[in-house]
Amino acid sequence: MAKIKFLFEDSKLSPVTLDNIEKGESILDSAEDNGIHLSSNCGAVCACSTCHIYVEKGGELLPEITDREEDFIDRAIDPRLESRLGCQCIIQNDDDEFEVIIPDQSQIISHEH
């Protein structure tokens, strides 16, 4: 099983490490399945920027960023070189390890899920 360490810009939230992530699952789904709030207004179809994350470690293990994803990242709050959309970050191998930062979700107008 793959491993993801979630860090948060919101200082009230403590880091969470998940080591039960299956190959083929997205970082967005991994977060939601484990009670970690990450907005996703479009339903995970790469049509918005609300599931924007920063992949601090392991980015090279993810599928290459597409032009479409890059276009939506440009619309996100505070995009950086390590920015990705959680819905597009699909785990490729069972032994992959990631460290991601979830931006402050209070800045995002989103649907509750």
| Residue range 40-67, pLDDT digits in tens | 999 899 999 999 999 999 999 999 999 9
Longest dimension (CA), the chain: 34
Q: What is the pLDDT of residues 10-25, one digit of tens each?
A: 999 999 999 999 999 9
pTM of the model: 0.92
Nearest to 104 by CA among 10, 5, 41: 10
Q: For domain 2-100, which architecture applies? A: Roll (3.10)
Round to whole Å and give the CA distance between 88 and 94.
17
**How long, in residues, is the chain?**
113
Question: CA quadruple 19, 20, 23, 27: dihedral positive or negative?
Answer: negative
Residue with tokens 């490729």: 92
